[in-house]
């Protein structure tokens, strides 16, 4: 396989087999816990590789689209079983490449990925159309047909869940797919090819490639890709949409960034609010698009809440063991040196823009670790308050008035998620209804599940993934007119 460690796959998976990438130079992946090289030989998809992958997906499309629904379901269910069986492989590769605690993949990510496959396996025979009564002698039938060859570009943080979010609905709806993992965490994505082989998918239905921005833009501008599903930052999402429009107007869905607000009212259960707000910013070491990174707390309870947040965040330092494979390690480092430098610079500049209460240090003096940082009272235009940091940095502001806090919560380009903490359910529902985001959680935060729509308003995205809305994004309505008088 030509990697520094020979027991994982570093090649591309195209047309049902692993092949050498023709792109150069190869990608090097570093272990963010200590900076050691995991592999210096991750293959990069070149123009030719991308064309090969798209051609394979195109050739496979008619056969897959016309495969009986329940035969599709059987294969999708098989993949779900294999993900569960081989969760340890994915956990290991994610831990090596992105520093995710091993347990996180075993306990949460692999089961969630399997759920996504099972959910969409059940959808293959439920893509119902419509028919309208004959009118003027014509019967009209609207079918939900597959779009064709889809491509997906993934962010570094989603691992096997993000692969499932794209592959499962695309295939359940009858499409074929080329999927590019992030160059920062490519190994688990490439390992997925083994499962595709073992499950027995027809060659070309699922193709897995990797590479950086150049490979991504080859997909976005490709003339024979019919839809692109992108997950990543707002800036890159806009480039993908532009490239899609400038090439063949391929369909686009975008899952982009966030700066999600949580509003804590004075009648909230403080234990519940603290627990969720802490989990909402330390989960995946803050590298979550739905991270609860802006908290608004009512002035009457601010002091108490901030004390509790500090205590709870300080408590999480004990979960940041140096060994991400250890059972007790629940929080890992940031994904790589560049991201660590970026988050650290937000922490430094934040000290001039707000008051730091705790955190923002490297607990191990090596690698890309950073302790959860709590800032309070930011200036209104503070960078840490306005921009997505994508690390464990939470900013707490106080409020006094419901209408004012809703306005402040909505004063952002993002609209991915949000939360309201209150024991007055009428208030909670009223406020949730006024937060402009794809999801709002009540007395919880950062929720995300396989069977409900996920995605953003405003610049947090276009379209939705997961649930029924997710699979609809992989179909096109097609109308048949039948002349009943003939
Ligand atoms: P990123 O935008 O830097 O990269 C995402 C992907 O785009 C990578 O695979 C990268 O190789 C590719 N890419 C880079 N330049 C490209 C170009 N010009 N054309 C095509 N592809 C290109 O994001 P990241 O650092 O991997 O991930 C973090 C970002 O992703 C955050 O903003 C986060 O909020 C967002 N995210 C969103 C969701 C969601 O579902 N809404 C989920 C996870 C992450």
pLDDT of residue 4: 42
> Which residue has tokens 């090819």?
193
Instruction: Please check the confidence at residue 205 and state whether its pLDDT lies above 90.
Output: yes
Q: Class of 5-256+461-479 per CATH?
A: alpha beta
Structure confidence at residue 456 as a pLDDT band (50, 70, 90): very high
Q: What percent of the chain has a predicted confidence (pLDDT) above 90?
A: 97
**pLDDT, average across residues 373-389:** 97
pLDDT of residue 158: 87
pLDDT digits (tens, 9 = 90+) for 155-188: 999 889 999 999 999 999 999 999 999 999 999 9
pLDDT digits (tens, 9 = 90+) for 260-282: 999 999 999 999 999 999 999 99
Q: Please check whether residue 349 is in contact with residue 373, taking contact to mean a CB–CB distance below 8 angstroms.
A: no
Using alpha carbons, select from 105, 253, 236, 100 the residue that is nearest to residue 166.
253
* Annotation says 255 is catalytic: yes
Give the Å distance between the CA of 228 and the centre of ligand 1: 13
CA distance 364 to 102: 19
pLDDT of residue 1: 36
Q: Would you kindly state where each structural domain of the chain is located, as residue ranges?
A: 5-256+461-479, 261-449
CA distance 439 to 282: 19
The CA angle 380-384-390, to the nearest 5 degrees, is 145
pLDDT digits (tens, 9 = 90+) for 46-93: 999 999 999 999 999 999 999 999 999 999 999 999 999 999 999 999
pLDDT of residue 3: 39
Best mutation site among 97, 155, 289 for ligand 1, i.e. most ligand atoms within 8 A of its Cβ? 155
Q: Which residues line ligand 1 (CB under 6 A)?
A: 153-158, 180, 182-183, 212-213, 216-217, 220, 231-233, 236, 239-240, 255-258, 289, 388, 390, 416, 456, 461
pLDDT of residue 5: 45
**pLDDT, average across residues 469-481:** 98
For residue 403, give Cα distances in angstroms to 72, 434, 445: 50, 10, 21
CATH of 261-449, one of 3.40.309.10, 2.40.50.140, 3.10.580.10, 3.40.50.920: 3.40.309.10
CA distance 284 to 175: 31
Question: Which residue, judged by its Cα, is nearest atom 36 of ligand 1?
Answer: 232
CA distance 124 to 137: 32
Using alpha carbons, select from 18, 479, 28, 428 the residue that is nearest to residue 264.
428
Does residue 25 have a cis bond before it (omega within 30 degrees)? Answer: yes
For residue 2, give Cα distances in angstroms to 6, 60, 336, 394: 7, 29, 23, 42
The HSE-up count of residue 252 (CA atoms within 13 Å, CB side) is 26
CA distance 34 to 357: 27
Active-site residue identified among 255, 353, 398, 465: 255
pLDDT of residue 486: 82
Instruction: Please check the confidence at residue 151 and state whether its pLDDT lies above 90.
Output: yes
Question: Which residue, judged by its Cα, is nearest atom 30 of ligand 1?
Answer: 232
The alpha-helical segments, DSSP class H, found in 288-336 are 302-315
Best mutation site among 164, 232, 284, 455 for ligand 1, i.e. most ligand atoms within 8 A of its Cβ? 232
Provide the mean pLDDT of the chain: 97
């Amino acid at each position: 396989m030509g990697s520094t460690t020979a027991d994982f796959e570093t090649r591309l998976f195209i047309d049902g087999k692993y092949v050498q990438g023709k792109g150069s130079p190869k990608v090097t992946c570093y272990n963010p816990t200590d900076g050691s090289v995991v592999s210096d030989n991750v293959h990069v998809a070149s123009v030719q590789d991308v064309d090969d992958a798209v051609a394979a997906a195109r050739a496979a499309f008619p056969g897959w689209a016309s495969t009986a629904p329940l035969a599709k379901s059987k294969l999708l269910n098989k993949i779900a079983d294999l993900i569960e069986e081989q969760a340890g492989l994915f956990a290991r590769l994610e831990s090596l490449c992105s520093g995710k605690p091993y347990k996180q993949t075993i306990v949460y990510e692999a089961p969630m990925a399997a759920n996504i496959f099972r959910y969409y396996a059940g959808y293959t025979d439920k893509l119902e159309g419509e028919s309208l009564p004959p009118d003027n002698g014509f019967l009209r039938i609207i079918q939900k047909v597959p779009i064709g060859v889809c491509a997906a570009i993934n962010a570094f943080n989603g691992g096997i869940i993000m692969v499932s979010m794209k592959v499962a609905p695309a295939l359940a709806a009858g499409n074929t797919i080329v999927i590019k993992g992030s160059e920062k965490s490519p190994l688990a994505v490439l390992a997925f090819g083994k499962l595709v082989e073992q499950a027995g998918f027809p060659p070309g239905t699922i193709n897995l490639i990797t590479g950086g921005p150049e490979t991504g833009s080859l997909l976005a501008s490709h003339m024979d890709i019919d839809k692109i599903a992108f997950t990543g930052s707002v800036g890159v999402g806009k480039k993908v949409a532009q490239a899609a429009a400038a090439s063949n107007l391929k369909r686009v869905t975008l899952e982009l960034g966030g700066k999600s607000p949580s509003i804590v009212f004075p009648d909230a259960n403080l234990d519940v609010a603290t627990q969720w707000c802490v989990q909402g910013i330390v989960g995946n070491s803050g590298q979550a698009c739905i991270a609860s990174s802006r908290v608004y707390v009512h002035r009457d309870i601010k002091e108490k809440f901030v004390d509790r947040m500090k205590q709870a965040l300080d408590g999480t330092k004990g979960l940041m063991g140096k060994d991400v494979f250890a059972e007790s390690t629940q929080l890992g480092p940031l994904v790589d040196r560049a991201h660590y430098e970026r988050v650290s610079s937000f922490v430094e500049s934040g000290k001039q823009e707000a008051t730091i209460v705790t955190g923002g240090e490297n607990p191990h003096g090596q690698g890309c670790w950073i302790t959860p940082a709590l800032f309070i009272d930011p200036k209104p235009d503070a960078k840490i308050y306005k921009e997505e940091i994508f690390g464990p940095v939470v900013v707490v502001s106080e409020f006094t008035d419901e209408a004012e806090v809703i306005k402040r919560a909505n004063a952002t380009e993002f609209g991915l998620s949000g939360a309201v903490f209150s024991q007055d359910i009428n208030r909670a529902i009223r406020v949730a209804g006024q937060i402009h985001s794809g999801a709002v959680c009540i007395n919880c935060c950062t929720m995300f599940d396989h069977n409900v729509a996920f995605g953003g308003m405003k610049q947090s995205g276009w379209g939705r993934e997961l649930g029924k809305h997710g699979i609809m994004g992989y179909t096109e309505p097609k109308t048949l007119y039948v002349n009943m008088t003939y």
